[in-house]
Structures are given as C-alpha cells and as structure tokens.
C-alpha cells in the first residue's frame, strides 16, 4: 500500500468477527472490513459512533493486527467517562457493525525492510501499535534484533501477555522486558518501577548500534522516555513517538 | 481523549490529527514537514504538539511552543489558520 498520493478517506463499516478480552479493562475487536485497503504497522483508524439523535463521537485507535493478518484488529482500553470506549469494551457484540475510516498515519510506522535494530518502548495500551510491528516482524520471518520494554501497572494489566511470552520464546531475536509500576506478583523477577535511564541502558541498544526507536504511551511517559534517550546520546531523528491519543476516550 | 484533566494528559502529537489533515489535504500528512515561522525549526507533523481540548485543534512547535496551526471545523466548513507555519513540505 502506498501511503502517498491523494486518496479519499471514507467512512466504512466493519463487522465485529470476534471479541478478545485482554485485561479487565481492555478488549481487542477483530473486525471484518470488506473494502480494507491494507495498512502499515503503526497506523491507526478513526472510529465514529452515532447516537439515535444524530450526535456523533469520534476517537482514534491504533491498529494491533499486522498488515499480513486477514482481519483488522483494534485494541481498546475502557475509560469509564469516555464517549466511545465504554461502547467498544462492554457493549458491542459479535456481528455488530462499527463505523471506521483508515488507515491513517505514516510517521509512526515500521516496515520489516528496515535493517536497524529495533527498540520498542510501551506504556499501557501504548503497546498496541508496537504489537502490530512485532506481529509484522513475525509474519515476514524477520530476525531483526528487537527489544520491547513494556510498562504496565500490574501483572493483570499486561496486554498481549501470553502472545508476547510465546513470541519472545521463539528465539528469533525478540526479547521482552516488563516493568510493573504499581503492583507486582509474589516472586516477580522483572522491573518494578517507572522506566528510567538505567532501565533503558540495560534493555536498549548501545547508541552506536543506531537503533530505530518507537515509543508509545501516555504523554508524560513518552516525553520522559524520549528525553532520557536523547540525554543518553541517541539520535533524536531515530526516535519516533506517539502520545496516547490513538487509544484514549 | 483521557480521563484526567492534567494539562500534560491533554497534550497529544500530530499523529492525533492524521485523519483530520487527510480530510483537508487528501494526503497522508503526518510525514509532511513544517517550518516554524517563529524559530525556524523543522518538524514532521507527527512530531508537533497538538491540543484537542480547545474548540478545534491547536498545533504548537515542539521547539519553541509557538502556535503553528489552528484548525476549526463546524457547520460543514473548515477554518485553518496557518500563519505560524512558514513552509509546509510534503511529497506529491
């Protein structure tokens, strides 16, 4: 798919083929979108809900599926006073139709042809676009050295926990490091604090390896990680960030 | 977009207006590069600071915080203030 050239962004209907609960507050919606033009790992869609009285609410959600996957998957965190997410996590049922448009974005994308080692840093549901990259990497048989540093509040809040465990055990160059910032299960071996410079130097690549870096999560976390990496000597041009907008509301 | 009202949480980036800019320019615009009319810094649209809590989108320079763009949409019209952007460059 070319991300360039004029192409009208049209609203279309996707049918919910499957609902996959990920954590107590997060669910994946697997959508069947008949005229889906294809996407790149890291892009998002806009989802629009229309009430009976015509009122519309619209939010952006990152795409979790790889470009190679047969269905389009978005993963949504339920925000109690949100306008869209409480419908998508809790109310929507298999067979329902959801109005969406996309794919959108071209800045925060990764393709498997990029030869640089990859450092992915996620906070909470910021893992979603990075998951699309990890799945894309898996689908294409890439053994590109890739490290994911993923910050969650607690063990139960880790999205894609089993899939990440399985992929990291595959021995094809993907490693996953977790940090749990609020609560840790007994005997927890991973990190137990917010992401800091020490953690980034232990998990990340030496700057001389010139990795491509993608950081996605809540705004304060993204800004702290990006400025820490720049302080550590990483090339600012190699660090791409996406603040939480693509998953909120 | 978020549950809390801390200013830092309302701060997003240019990725959040990718759909809005596609409506207006019909092109993928998060990879377009804008030159700040105030400080001259050049940033990809994906990197710029965006606030959506105003009536419309307010886009600021990540280097000097100067307002680059304001985009308001309503009643079937767009109002786009680009005075803060000296040059907007993107692939044809």
Structural domains in chain A plus CATH codes:
2-104 (2.40.30.10), 118-244 (3.40.50.80)
Q: What is the pLDDT of residues A42-72, one digit of tens each?
A: 999 999 999 999 999 999 999 999 999 999 9
Q: Cα dist. A161→A20, A26, A156, A188, A196 in Å?
A: 13, 12, 9, 14, 22
The confidence band for A244, taking pLDDT boundaries of 50, 70 and 90, is confident
Any chain A CB within 8 A of the CB of B65? no
The pLDDT tens digits of the residues spanning B62-88 come to 999 999 999 999 888 999 999 999 999
pLDDT at A183 over 70: yes
Under an 8 A CB cutoff, do A220 and B28 touch?
no
pTM: 0.93
Which site among B5, B6, B13 would you substitute to test the A interface, given the most A Cβ atoms closer than 10 Å to its Cβ? B13
Contact A80 B13 (CB under 8 A): no
The predicted-structure confidence for A21-43, as pLDDT tens digits, reads as follows 999 999 999 999 998 999 999 99
Q: Who has greater pLDDT, A154 or B6? A: A154
Contact B27 A108 (CB under 8 A): no
Residue A174 burial (C-beta neighbours within 10 Å; 0-12, 13-18, 19+): buried
> What are the chain A neighbours of B19 within 8 Å (beta carbons)?
9, 46, 60, 101-102, 104
Top-confidence residue, A56 or A136: A136
Residue pLDDT, tens place only, B16-54: 999 999 999 999 999 999 999 999 999 999 999 999 877
DSSP A52-71: TTS-EEEEEEEB-S-TTSSS
Q: Residue A70: count other Cβ atoms within 10 Å of its Cβ.
A: 9
Average pLDDT, chain A: 94
Q: What is the interface pTM, i.e. ipTM, of the complex?
A: 0.88
Q: A28-65: b or e for each residue (b if 16 or more CB lie within 10 Å)?
A: bbbbbbeebeebbbbbbbbbebeeeeeeeebbbbbbbb
Which residues of chain B make contact with A219, given a CB cutoff of 8 A? 8-9, 11-12
Cα distance between residue A220 and residue A211, in whole Å: 23
């Amino acid at each position: 798919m070319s991300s360039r050239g004029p192409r009208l962004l049209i609203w279309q209907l996707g049918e919910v083929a499957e609902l996959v609960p990920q954590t107590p507050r997060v669910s994946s919606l697997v959508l069947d979108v008949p005229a889906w033009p294809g996407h790149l790992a890291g892009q998002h869609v806009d989802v629009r809900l229309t009430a009976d009285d015509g009122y519309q609410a619209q939010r952006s959600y990152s795409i979790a599926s790889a470009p190679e996957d047969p269905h389009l998957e978005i993963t949504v965190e339920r925000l109690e006073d949100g306008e869209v997410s409480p419908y998508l996590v809790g109310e929507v049922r298999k067979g329902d139709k959801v109005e969406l448009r996309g794919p959108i974005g071209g800045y925060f994308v990764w393709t498997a042809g990029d030869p640089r080692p990859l450092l992915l840093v996620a906070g909470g549901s910021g893992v979603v676009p990075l998951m699309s990259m990890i799945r894309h990497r898996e689908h294409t048989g890439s053994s590109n050295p890739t490290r994911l540093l993923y910050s969650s509040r607690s063990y139960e809040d880790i999205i894609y926990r089993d899939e990440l465990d399985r992929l990291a055990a595959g021995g094809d160059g993907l490693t996953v490091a977790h940090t749990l910032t609020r609560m840790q299960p007994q005997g927890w071996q991973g990190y137990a604090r917010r992401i800091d410079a020490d953690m980034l130097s232990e998990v990340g690549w030496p700057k001389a390896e010139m990795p491509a870096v993608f950081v996605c999560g809540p705004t304060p976390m993204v800004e702290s990680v990006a400025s820490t990496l720049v302080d550590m000597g990483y090339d600012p041009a190699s660090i791409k960030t996406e603040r939480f907008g693509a998953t909120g509301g | 977009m978020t549950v809390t009202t801390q200013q830092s949480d309302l701060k997003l980036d240019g990725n959040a207006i990718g759909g809005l800019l596609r409506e207006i320019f019909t092109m993928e615009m998060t990879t377009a590069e804008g030159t700040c009319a105030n400080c001259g810094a050049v940033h990809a649209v994906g990197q710029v600071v965006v606030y959506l809590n105003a009536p419309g989108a307010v886009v600021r320079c990540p280097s000097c915080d100067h307002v680059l763009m304001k985009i308001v949409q309503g009643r079937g019209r767009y109002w786009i203030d680009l005075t803060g952007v000296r040059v907007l460059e993107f692939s044809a």
